[in-house]
Amino acid sequence: MSHGIAWIGAHSTADKSAAQPGMLGGISLTCARGLDADEFLIALGADLDELAARIPYKGLAVPVGPPGKPSPRVAPVMYGTCGNWVYVLEDWGMATWATGYQKVKSMRPYPDEEIVCATMNWWSPPSLVIHAPGDGHAWQADFGQDTGQSSALDTALRAAGAVFPSLPDDDEAEVVAYHEEHGGRLSTAVFTAIGNYCDLFIDPAAVQAGDLPSVLIPMV
């Protein structure tokens, strides 16, 4: 688990320690190429001054609402780059890009910009893989399926064992039995596939320590 991003999936159901300054369990991932890191974070709603400050996640001050009033709806995220990809990590239950790309103009997938997203969707299951391949469209699949586009990402999902038998193509009893036996490894397989497809490595020690740069972005 020292390479790639399989560790994100392996810890997908882990609880975060109150003393932990960074992230470990339940992380959603969005990665993009064809635009620079700041450009993508601004599209997600990052503040320019905060972005320029390059504050590490463990030092980010998250605003708290006054007594009796809700806290501001912002998500603290970690980000970084690997190769020609920029990646964004969130552990509040969903990926901001996944919740906003269909309704927020700046988040729309434009031609020549590729985006791969794995959103855990705690509040609205199931977990999803979303792929905008760079043609202005976005395709999604539940964890355990591929996008149906015969893409290189779909090939990576199948190679990693992240595509499970499903109805109506397979027998119901077979589907249930397979999910019961292999469901515990599904998230690891999904993140393995994405890591292989993007040739992506994210250091788990840096993420858990909160050492990566961070910003606050609005929850959409």
Bigger pLDDT: 45 or 65?
A: 45
Answer whether 110's CB lies under 8 Å from 136's CB: yes
pLDDT tens-place string over residues 87-121: 999 999 999 999 999 999 999 999 999 999 999 99
Quote the CA–CA distance of 27 and 188 in Å, as a whole number.
Answer: 12
Strands (E), the chain: 28-33, 55-56, 74-82, 85-90, 114-119, 128-132, 139-142, 213-218
Tell me what the pLDDT averaged over the chain comes to.
90
70 confidence band (pLDDT: 50, 70, 90): low
Query: What b/e string do you get for 143-173 counting C-beta neighbours within 10 Å, with b at 16 or more?
Result: bbbbbeeeeebbebbeebebbbbeeeeeeee
Return the residue matching tokens 């855990």.
120
Q: Measure Cα distances from 86 to 70, 111, 199 in Å.
A: 31, 17, 12
* Radius of gyration of the chain, Cα coordinates, nearest whole angstrom: 17
Return the residue matching tokens 């985006």.
115
Mean pLDDT of 64-86: 83
Beta-carbon neighbour count of residue 99 at 10 Å? Answer: 20
Q: List the one residue out of 200, 218, 211, 212 whose CA is nearest residue 30.
A: 200
Strand pairing partners for 114?
A: 33
pLDDT tens-place string over residues 114-152: 999 999 999 899 999 999 999 999 999 999 999 999 999
